[in-house]
Amino acid sequence: MRSRIEPMKKIARSLRQHRELILNYFRAQKLISSGVVEGLNNKAKVTMRRAYGFRTFRVLELALYHSLGKLPEPDSTHDFF
């Protein structure tokens, strides 16, 4: 924070705000992998990109349920009438 360079001050503030989260990485000692979460996040992003033309959020939500597979589907998924 003693630096006169504003970008360095911005980084220092960011590190202070996220200190506990950064330290959690080192406390876990690489025992926890975020690969599964990253994979699900990527699959959700691809589905949202493919669902660009959908008119409602409800249709996007159903597309996410179908693409992520193991999540429970809502009761009204196949109710056409």
Cα gap 12→1, rounded to integer Å: 6
Same domain, 39 and 74: yes
57-62 contacts at long range (C-beta below 8 A, 24 or more positions apart): none
Let me know whether 26 and 40 are in one domain.
no
**Structural domain range at position 68:** 35-78
Going residue by residue through the chain (81 aa), what tens digit of pLDDT does each one get? 778 889 999 999 999 999 998 888 788 876 777 777 788 889 888 888 887 777 788 888 878 877 877 666 556 555 555
Same domain, 26 and 42: no
Pair 42, 74 in one domain: yes
Q: Are residues 26 and 39 in the same domain?
A: no
Q: How many domains does the chain have?
A: 2
**41 and 71, same domain (yes or no):** yes
